[in-house]
Every structure is written in C-alpha cells, then in structure tokens.
Amino acid sequence: MAINRIMVIGAGQMGGGIAQVAAQSGLEVVLNDLKPEFIHRGLAVIAKNLSRSVEKERIAVAEKEAILGRIVPSTDLADAAAVDFVVEAASENMEIKSGIFRALDKAARPGVILATNTSSLPITEVAAVTSRPGSVIGMHFMNPVPVMPLVEVIRGIATTDATFATVDALARAMGKTPVEVNDAPGFISNRVLLPMINEAIFCVYEGVATPEAVDQVMKLGMNHPMGPLTLADFIGLDTCLAIMEVLHEGFADSKYRPCPLLRKMVKAGWLGKKSGKGFFEYA
Ligand code: CAA
C-alpha cells in the first residue's frame, strides 16, 4: 500500500516533531490530539522551527506555508479511516496506548500499519490488543525529532517482514536512518542510555561530584553533545524514572535499580526542563 497520508497521534514534543518531519518529506499529515489547543500548541512549535529554517535561508516562505498546509488537525481517532499509516506518540502509559490502539484497529482500513513511538513499552503487548498484530511495530524517533537522524524500528513478536520493510522505507523517505531492533526492554537506545544517566545521578547522590562536574567530564572527555544530567533534564526526569522502572522490572536485575535521588526529585516535581528545575534551573 502506498503511503501518502499518515496520522500522528499526540501533538507534543515527539508527535509534533514527527508531524513536522513527515510534512517536510511531502506526506499529508493528520495531527491528532485530545484537544484543539494541544494541536495548536504543537503547530506553533512546528511553525517556529520552520521560520528558523526560513531565516537561515534553507527553505523559502512558500515552502514553509506548503509544509504547514500539509498538516491538518484532528481530535477524533475515527479519522484514522482516511489514512495509509498511523504513528502514535501519546503518553507513555500502557492503558492509554491500549485504548488508542483498540480504537485505531477499529477505525483504520485492514492492512494499515499501526506504529508506536513508545520509548520503552513492549511492542508485543501493544500489538496484542489489536486484531492485526502483524501490522503493529515500534517506530522510535529521538528528541529533537527534526535534528536526530535515528529511528529505531522495533519488531514485536508478530510483526511481519512486510510491515518491517514498509516502515524501514518510510523512515528513509522521512530522511531518517532506521535501525532494526527486536522487542526487549528499553530496545537498544534506552537500555544503553538510561543506565548511563542513572549512574551519573548516583555520582551526584553519593557526593562524588556536582552535576556540573559530571556533565563536564562526559562533554569534554567523551565528546557527548550534552552531559548526561542536562540530557536527563531534557528528556524529563519522570520519563527517565519510568524507563528505569521498565528496565528494572523487565530484566529483574538490580543493576537497573533507579537511583533514589531520581525518585526523590520526581516526587518533588523537579522534572527537568519542562518544570523549570531538574539538575539545573531553567528560566
Ligand atoms: N527542535 C528543532 N530543532 C532544534 C531543536 C529542537 N528542539 N533543538 C535544537 N535544534 C536545532 C537548532 O536549530 C540547530 O539547527 P542548525 O544547526 O540548523 O542551526 C541545531 O539543532 C543545533 O542546535 P544548537 O546549535 O542550538 O545546539 P547544540 O549544537 O547544542 O545542539 C542538540 C542541540 C541537537 C539537542 C544537541 O545538544 C544534542 O544532540 N543533544 C543530545 C540529544 C540526544 O541525545 N537526544 C536523544 C535523547 S533520548 C531520546 O530521545 C530517546 C528516549 O526515548 C528518551
């Protein structure tokens, strides 16, 4: 099935980024969220990113308008009936995702692939609530989506080769580099990244060094573009904790235990950049 029109569910940081990249690559995008104001907020971020590209003379104003014109808002999951592909980027909560996938399975035409941008929930479990587990797959973009080249393409236990091949090709058409991964807790990205971040938090918890020092070591010594604690703030400390819990539970191995300081900061509402305070302060 040719993919010309896709639905992106969730107009937040990830969904908005996916919608932008898809529209930039020429796809028609139905951007779905619970409320019109969430979609307007997402569209405003996309417009701002595109304006920056206009200022930098990478695209013309007309192109910016054309890209925005390819994104139409939707607050009804039944609109999935009119698309060739769906990618879901809603909250990282299995109950919410299951509800969305049940509704999508009813609305979307037979054979339409339903992808999830989940950063750590099992693809196999999401697929199992649908009548088309062979057409369910993980399509995990990295943040910020317009900048990061990677897409992890995650095969659930039932994902067919045809589904994988279609999503692999779609990711390339969106200008990304897909990497094939089998369904396992944290996939590759978060299984490797989050324990490093958690260990950086242990360094602060145990008084080994300040957050500034930890980040400097990893930036200047390992050439990371952001230190692990700045990156944790950027991802969201609640998300970091949720991913560590998935790894801890999924592998039943104490090496993935979340640092108590991470738990304490999340309990305090210090969630990183989005709440104005995490390991660092944000205006
Ligand atoms: N949206 C769109 N574009 C953005 C952006 C955003 N949120 N943030 C930065 N950019 C663009 C800038 O416009 C700039 O573009 P140009 O080069 O075209 O001018 C470019 O990115 C570089 O930005 P800056 O010069 O402002 O800053 P920088 O050089 O420090 O780069 C960064 C910013 C790309 C975010 C870089 O710091 C970086 O790569 N950080 C690490 C990001 C990372 O690890 N992401 C993965 C997070 S984990 C994840 O996503 C998985 C998960 O499930 C949790």
**Where residue 211 sits, what CATH number does that domain have?**
1.10.1040.10
- Nearest CA to 126 out of 111, 145, 113 is that of 113
Is residue 152 among the annotated active site residues? yes
Q: Is residue 283 part of a domain?
A: no
Host domain of residue 261: 191-275
Same domain, 142 and 212: no
Whether residue 282 is contained in a domain is answered as no
- Residue 73, classed as helix, strand or coil, is strand
Is residue 267 domain-shared with residue 143, that is, in the same domain?
no
Residue numbers of the chain with a pLDDT score lower than 70 = none
Q: Is residue 281 part of a domain?
A: no
Same domain, 197 and 263: yes
Query: Are residues 130 and 203 part of one domain?
Result: no
- Domain end, chosen from 132, 156, 182, is at 182
Q: What is the pLDDT of residues 192-235, one digit of tens each?
A: 999 999 999 999 999 999 999 999 999 999 999 999 999 999 99
User: Does 230 sit in the ligand 1 pocket, CB within 6 Å?
Assistant: no
Classify residue 42: in a domain, yes or no.
yes
Position 1 scores a pLDDT of: 75
53 in catalytic set: no
pLDDT per position as a tens digit, 149-169: 999 999 999 999 999 999 999
190 is catalytic: yes
Cis peptide before 260 (omega within 30 of 0): no
CB 50 within 8 A of CB 20: yes
Which candidate in 119, 135, 189, 198 is catalytic? 119
Nearest CA to ligand 1 atom 23: 147
Q: 176 and 208 share a domain?
A: no
CATH assignment of the domain containing 19: 3.40.50.720
Give me the interface pTM, i.e. the ipTM. Answer: 0.95
Answer whether 263's CB lies under 8 Å from 201's CB.
no
My answer on whether 46 and 101 are in the same domain is yes
State the CB neighbour count (10 A cutoff) for residue 263: 15
